[in-house]
Structure formats: structure tokens, C-alpha cells
Amino acid sequence: MSEAVRSTRSAAASSHVEAAASYRQTGRTASGRRIQLEARGLKKSYFKAGHEIPVLRGVNLTVQQGEFLAVIGQSGSGKSTLLHLLATLDGADAGEVWLDGMRIDNLPRRRRDALRNRKLGMIFQFYHLLPELTALENVLAPLMIAHGLWSWLRHRRSHVQNARRLLEQVGLGQRWQHLPRELSGGEMQRTAIARALAPGPAVLLADEPTGNLDQHTGAEIMQLLRSLNRQHGLTIVMVTHDLANAQQAHRVVRLVEGRIESA
């Protein structure tokens, strides 16, 4: 199992280089599936009023390609922080993040930006849509960021088609012209999912995607994520505090006191 691999890896922390080398050669875990995303010994503390508050105390996590992993934990257990570190939005105090056999946390800022743009889709509890843009434009936003003005204008038609298709896929085919404030919570989250999927990412990082939705709508969103995972083989890492939601994933791990425990 991957857990086993992970534990041996962490045990052999001193022989990181060799492990990485073998991983790079095969790109596969013991189970035969490729490892897509991996966290190795991630540590992160915050400083508040001069006191160090450790949040992550050495998180090891391996996500296989096509896996739907749920990370559960109580509020303040560092779930979001872990996700931010995986997305390279924040830097860890110690530890490494690997994506598709490449260490990504120590890349130059611009490469990390590009990676986040193309490979890592993110959705959030509060949807985080840009309020000035319509649903369609929100979905197009990562593509616009990826392209300069001229290349955007050249490929605009295919991008728009792609985005319309994604919106249809998440069930918002008719509402693409609406602004976020004209959409319901569930619709906003669907738009956010479509946006995360627009560049064709390797991994979808979901931060409490149902946290702000009622049970029914939340279930719909979970349904959507599951079907994306199943039909398109999308790797999903979801953090949540809701065990019921978490249990719809392939695998659930628990974040307790800054460390991962298998659930």
C-alpha cells in the first residue's frame, strides 16, 4: 500500500535523494499506480505575539493518480494550511512537496505560479469567484492568466468553447452570463469547480467545498466531484471537517495535532 511506501520513505528521511531518484525512474508506488502528489515532512508554524504556534509538525502524504483523498480534521487542525502548502501558495518551514516526480516547493516563484495555473486546480469554501466577472469569465480566468493578450485573442474561440463545455458539465450551461452575485451558493461552487478544471489540471485541491452549503446542495457538489473523479480520473485532495462527506472519498486520512493519521 502507499501508506507503507510513505512510512518507509519518512523513515529513510536521510536517503531522500535515493528515494527520489528511484521514484523518478519508475514514477510508481508499490501498488503500481503512479504517485501524483506527495508531501514529505511538511512543517509549518505561525507566530502570534512572539509565540510560535506549530500547525503542521511533519506531514507525510501521498496521493496516487486518480485517487480521491479526503483529509479530515477539526477546525484549526491545519487542513487549509496543508492545502495551501500543497498548492505552493505558502512556503513550508521544512519538508518538500512533489508533483509528478518533480519537487515543486522550491521552484522559482514564476515557475510555481505557472504550475499552479496549469496543474493545480483549487476550490474553496467561500467559492472565491471574482465578483466583477461573469461565470464564463471566471472560468476563463486561469486561461487568461496563462495567455498573453495576443495568444489569448488567437485562441479565444476554442477557450470559450472549452469553458462553455465545462460549465455545461457542472450543470450551469444556461447561466454563463450571470455574475457571481446572481448565482446561488451551489451554482457558485460549480462555477468555481469549472474554473479549477479549465486549464486541465493534474490535481484538484478542494478546501471544504461544501462547508458553506446546505446538506442537499453539498451532496450535489460531492456528487459532482465524485463523478469527475470517476469519469475523468481526476485526482482530488479534499479537506473537510465533515466525516459524512469525507467517506465518499476513496481514502480518508485524519489530521491530528499537525500529523497525519490513517482513519
Considering the complex, state which of residue 19 and residue 146 has its C-beta at the smaller distance from other proteins: 146
141 binds other proteins (CB under 8 A): yes
Sole binder of other proteins in the list 124, 135, 162, 234 (CB under 8 A):
124
User: For residue 37, with 0-12 CB atoms within 10 Å meaning exposed, 13-18 middle and 19 or more buried, which class applies?
Assistant: buried
Residue closer to other proteins, measured from CB, 23 or 124: 124
Q: Is 30 in the site for other proteins (CB under 8 A)?
A: no
Q: Is 110 in the site for other proteins (CB under 8 A)?
A: yes
Q: Which of 113, 160, 226, 242 binds other proteins (CB under 8 A)?
A: 113
Q: Which is nearer to other proteins, 29 or 210 (CB)?
A: 210
Contact predicate 94/13, CB 8 Å: no
With CB under 8 A as the contact rule, the residue among 16, 33, 57, 128 that binds other proteins is 128
**Does 181 participate in binding other proteins (rule CB under 8 A)?**
no
How many of the other CB atoms lie within 10 Å of CB of 230?
Answer: 11
Q: List the beta bridge partners of residue 235.
A: 203
Distance from the Cα of residue 254 to its chain's centroid: 17
Chain residues 80-99 in contact with other proteins, contact rule CB under 8 A: 81, 84, 87, 89-90
Using CB atoms within 10 Å of the CB of residue 140, give its burial: 0 to 12 exposed, 13 to 18 middle, 19+ buried. Answer: buried
Q: How far is the CB of 129 from other proteins (least distance, A)?
A: 8
Binding of other proteins at residue 170 (CB under 8 A)?
A: no
Can residue 118 be called a binding residue for other proteins (CB under 8 A)? Answer: yes
Nearest approach, Cβ of residue 109 and other proteins (Å): 7
Burial 158-185 (b: 16+ CB within 10 A, else e): ebbebbbebbebbebeebbebebeebeb
All residues at 6 or more sequence positions from 142 whose CB lies less than 8 Å from its CB, including other chains? 117, 195, 196, 198, 199
Nearest to 160 by CA among 152, 148, 171: 152
Q: Where do contacts with other proteins occur on this chain (CB under 8 A)?
A: 81, 84, 87, 89-90, 109-110, 113-118, 122, 124, 128-133, 137, 141-142, 144-149, 152-153, 195
